Amino acid sequence: MPRILHIDASARPGLAGRDEHGSHSRNLSHRFIHRWREERPNDPVTHREVGLSPPAFIDQRWIEAAFAPQARRQPWMADVLAESDRLVDELVAADVLVIGSPLYNFGMPAALKAWVDQIVRVGRTVDFDPSQPEDPFTPLLADRPRQAIILSARGGEGFEPGGPLAHMNHLEPALITVLEFIGINRIHRVAIEYQEAGGDLLAASVANANKKVDALADQLLSELADTTAVPA
């Protein structure tokens, strides 16, 4: 039974089209989860709300604790890393990671970056071997297949791969870099654009993204059914 980790990173608490100033990225992530649960209602889903309840920023004590050799671990370090351990445990347990995030000023929201900094952990999600200088990192989440779905919303347009503003999009590329670094390589992305323009352009982008989210959920559900089917 696959486990899903659902992360929302928007600072907007509501849903676009229903609540005033609601979130489009949150709409996409909830749509994916709803579609999945229609087919597999018993799959466990953990919802981590980083946009409204951001993780703590890492500080000097966090860094000291995270990089302390086992022989030099002190009791206070467990308390400092307790939140990070919870977030890492959620991620390690997940087979499907769904991230809903807006593009803020060309990159990810600070709350989502705080989550990233909490889950990229030496000894937990990646290993580091300085004796292998040409390839010192080993991703620890490559132990089994995992899927990641990045569902985003942008004010402007042209930020998609190959688009005229693709070089200014530091949301999906940054997340993909992080996820691949820790061992999650099956990554999918769907985005809404034209929030600033609104009107028909936004409506068409929303409708297109919704179709893509439904198709992606159906594709992954079909693949899951194929891998778990009992041979005749």
Question: What is the per-residue pLDDT for 160?
Answer: 94
d(CA 1, CA 227): 12
Neighbours of 141 (CB within 10 A): 22
Question: What is the per-residue pLDDT for 155?
Answer: 95
Which segments within 29-166 are labelled E, that is strand? 45-49, 96-102, 126-128, 137-139, 147-153
Are 29 and 6 a contacting pair, CB within 8 Å?
yes
pTM: 0.94
Question: What is the per-residue pLDDT for 52?
Answer: 96
Question: What is the per-residue pLDDT for 105?
Answer: 96
Question: What is the per-residue pLDDT for 17?
Answer: 87
Question: What is the per-residue pLDDT for 137?
Answer: 94
**Share above pLDDT 70 across residues of the chain, in percent, rounded to a whole number:** 98
Are 84 and 121 a contacting pair, CB within 8 Å?
yes
Residues in the chain: 232
Question: What is the per-residue pLDDT for 228?
Answer: 62
Question: What is the per-residue pLDDT for 102?
Answer: 98
Encoding tokens for residue 195?
A: 């929030």
CATH code of the domain containing 75: 3.40.50.360
Q: How many domains does the chain have?
A: 1
Note down the domain range covering 84.
Answer: 4-228
State the residue for tokens 């982008």.
Answer: 205
d(CA 56, CA 50): 10
Amino acid at 212: K
23 has binding-site annotation: yes
For the chain, 232 residues long, give each residue's pLDDT as a single digit of tens: 899 999 999 999 999 988 988 999 999 999 999 999 999 999 999 999 999 999 999 999 999 999 998 888 899 999 999 999 999 999 999 999 999 999 999 999 999 999 999 999 999 999 998 888 888 999 999 999 999 999 999 999 999 999 999 999 999 999 999 999 999 999 999 999 999 999 999 999 999 999 999 999 999 999 988 776 545 4
47 has binding-site annotation: no
Question: What is the per-residue pLDDT for 229?
Answer: 54
